[in-house]
Structure 1
Amino acid sequence: MSTREIIIVYSSIIFAIILDSLLSFKLGSVFFDTNFSYLIFSYWVFAAPEKIRVNQSILIGFFVDFLSNSAIGFHISLYCLFSLIIHAYAYTFRLFSYLQLSIFFGTSAAFISALFYLFHHPLHYSYLDIFIYWITSMILWFPVYFGMRRFRQKFFYA
């Protein structure tokens, strides 16, 4: 990857981390959390599998761990795992419809969120939060996908 492409990918993920911290809130007893950083990371791995490899996912996972104030290694291991899964099925995913992609990436984002809450907040673990997060992630995948695709076509290959 060129330096320009690296700056574009990392700046979009850092922007997503900032967006995550701004849009997470608690509404009554339900904690509303967005995981834009994972959705944008998974978009980059899905859209440019030849450019974002496992070594890049380790570095991106480290940035997410460091900037989101979580345990070092949590996002690294999960980002590597999902990077390997996305790379293994990268060209199969291209045959999927937008709804199927939304279900896969929403489920993987909900899995990351469920593990995060299980390890960091075991006393306040709520299945309702995970279900709402799963639905929200599937809905958010559409604007992330189309917005990042437009962004990639405009700046990444310019």
Structure 2
Amino acid sequence: MSLLSSYRVIYSTFIVGLLGAIYPLPIFLNAFRPDWLVLIIFYWVLALPHRVSIVHAFILGLLLDLLLGSTLGTHALLFSLLAYVVSMNYQRFRYFTIVQTTLLVGLFVLITKLALYWLASSLQEIVLHKHYFWSIFTSMLIWPWFFFFMRYLRQRFKVT
């Protein structure tokens, strides 16, 4: 597959992830929304670290900050750090089992959630609710199916 077609598939998943992050849900389901962009960045940097880099993660974070109306740069910083950690250790992470990568995804989502809370609370006074962390469990729950679906897409469209 050509380079342009490979990037079309990758960027399409980025757009779907951004839409999944802002799609309106009922209030009781909003706490269970998985962190789609963390999953997408983790997958693409793990699968193709030479194609998806820290720059992509930074731009996705800026776009998410703009779409959510959050402080500009918070998601960009955290997504860049996520991409950096995964790109530095992708050879090790590739040998993890699906259970180990699920736990790793849960750890990354937890760190992202805690860092977002810490950054937001340093700028304004906010209250931490227990349902803030429920998205960690839903992200971990869908990771195995998400991983196999993304691998199917990558193989189906011959993204290399």
Q: TM-score w.r.t. structure 2 length?
A: 0.83
| 8 Å CA contact 2:57, 2:80 repeated in 1 | yes
- Output the CA distance in 2 between the equivalents of 1:5 and 1:69: 30
CA-based RMSD: 2.5
> Which residue of 2 is the match for residue 2 of structure 1?
3
Contact 1:8 1:156 in 2 (8 A): no
User: Which among 125, 140, 148 is matched to residue 128 of structure 2?
Assistant: 125
In structure 2, the residue matched to 1:79 is 79
List runs of 5+ in structure 1 lacking aligned partners.
Answer: none
Q: Which residue of 2 aligns with 1:31?
A: 31
Q: What is the TM-score normalised by the length of structure 1?
A: 0.83
Partner of 2:146 in structure 1? 144
Superposed CA offset, 1:126-149 (max 9, x none): 24531x222221112112111111
Structure 2 gaps, min length 5 = none
How many equivalent pairs are there?
A: 156
For 1:136, the aligned partner's letter is T
For the structure 1 residues 141 and 72, does the alpha-carbon distance in structure 2 shift closer, same or farther, using more than 3 Å as the test?
same
Instruction: Measure how far apart 1:69 and its partner are.
Output: 2.8
What letter matches 2:20 in structure 1?
Answer: L
| Higher RCO (CA-CA < 8 Å; seq separation 6+) | 2
Counterpart for residue 115 of structure 2: 115
How many angstroms apart in 2 are the aligned matches of 1:71 and 1:65? 6
Q: Does 1:11 align with 2:12?
A: yes
Distance change (3 Å), C-alpha of 1:126 and 1:144: same
**CA deviation vs aligned residue, 1:31-65 (integer Å, no higher than 9, x gap):** 33321121112111111111112222222222222
